[in-house]
Amino acid sequence: MTPAYLDYAATTPLDPRVAAGMAALEGPDGVFANPASSHAYGRRAAAVVESAQERVLETLGDRDFQVIWTSGATEADNLAILGLARAIARRGGERRRILVTATEHSAVLAAADAAAREAGMQVERLPVAADGQLTPATLEAALAPDVALVSLAPVNNETGVIQPIERLAPLVRAVGARLHLDAAQAVGRVPEPGPYRHADLVSLSAHKCCGPKGIGALCVRSDVRLAPLMHGGGQQSGRRSGTLPVGLIAGMGDALGYRDDADEQARQRALRGRLVDALRAAGGVVINGRADGAPAILNVSFPGVHGGALRDALGDLAVGFGSACSGRDGPSHVLRAMGRPDALAHASVRISIGRFTEMADIDAAGAQVVAAVAALRGISPLWREIEEGRRTVDSAYGVTTALEMA
């Protein structure tokens, strides 16, 4: 029996409706031409691109954006952060600081570090609370007139924590800084237009919302200056050269049109709740995040269990351990930033669901995880001490902030 796929935060399956639309564009009778060409074939391709752009703007709920097509959110994050930093360095701007949270995606953190190396920017990683949120007080204390950019993810890719953008954005605006939102995990997971109307730059990725891999977008306000990362034929106003992949762009547009609505989000939240109930049977389950987080993402840790042994015990169950994009086997930097000790962060599982997840998938996965944890705890001296009351989970792992237990 094929195990359930419960790693939607890493990537999503292609929606059959999106696949059908893309297939209709392929072949000599389809829309295959270069959209920069002036002939009839090119104009047909340009119309497809324009239609997809309208879907992006509709998703953002704001038409004052230029859509720059990229290979995905990683490139979009780099263009937003490094492109802005290079533009500031070239014109000698006085704003030289970039603020990010310590829980941002590796694409944001790495791009910010590159901006420090290549453009002389000063990067500050802001701490988050134990529940993963950035507090307005923490952000306000770091803001000053020399801040150029604040980069935040409305939805964290590992924990599903939703940042309070409505309360944070006015603070950024008050000092005249730009706000970048890495919204790859947010589409279909937060109410729309939600945080986008507050942003100057927004990164999107198709494969996080049942669209094709290899296509994303950076949405940029008309008054934001960016230095290009790629040079060539001057496409997309010179900000990102290269022939546009019409089929992929059309697929992204369709995927955004089919994005999860409120009813589907509610269904996923119910499945998430059912999963939490199932995992409670293991006892002593630590919830990493907030109950009001994204409905599709659940991150849990299992005290008394070795992380590597847990991975082996879960076998082919398609769940996540940290971020699929990090390329590391060590403890999650996100959970570390939330105050989780390495041993507990390492014994964590991210279970993320989507529109094709069924109740049977949740029940089977919950039973498999509970059985694996029970077997490993049966040979764990640490768990024996916790069970017998000789130690608490908090004291066993040396945490200073009480852990939220399921």
Task: Give the residue numbers annotated as catalytic, written as ranges.
Answer: 325
Query: What DSSP line would sit under 106-173, residue for residue?
Result: HHHHHHHHHHHHHH--EEEEE---TTSPPPHHHHHHH--TTEEEEEE-SB-TTT-PBP-HHHHHHHHH
Q: Report the alpha-carbon distance of residue 37 to residue 41 in Å, rounded.
A: 8
What three-state secondary structure class fits 182? strand
Return the axis-axis angle of helices 106-119 and 73-91, rounded to nearest 10°. Answer: 20
Q: Which helix (H) or strand (E) holds 299?
A: strand 297-301
Q: Kind of pairing, strands 216-221 and 201-205?
A: antiparallel
Q: Report the alpha-carbon distance of residue 302 to residue 405 in Å, rounded.
A: 10
Long-range Cβ contact pairs of 234-243 (< 8 A, separation 24 or more): 235/36, 236/68, 236/69, 237/66, 239/66, 239/68, 239/79, 239/83, 240/68, 240/69, 240/70, 240/79, 243/34, 243/36
Closest CA to 268 of 12, 14, 55, 57: 12
Closest CA to 142 of 102, 115, 107, 111: 102
Query: What DSSP line would sit under 207-273, residue for residue?
Result: GGTT--TT-EEEEEETT-----SS-SS-TGGGTS-S---HHHHHHHHHHHHT---HHHHHHHHHHHH
Query: Do 272 and 63 meet the contact criterion of CB atoms below 8 Å apart?
Result: no
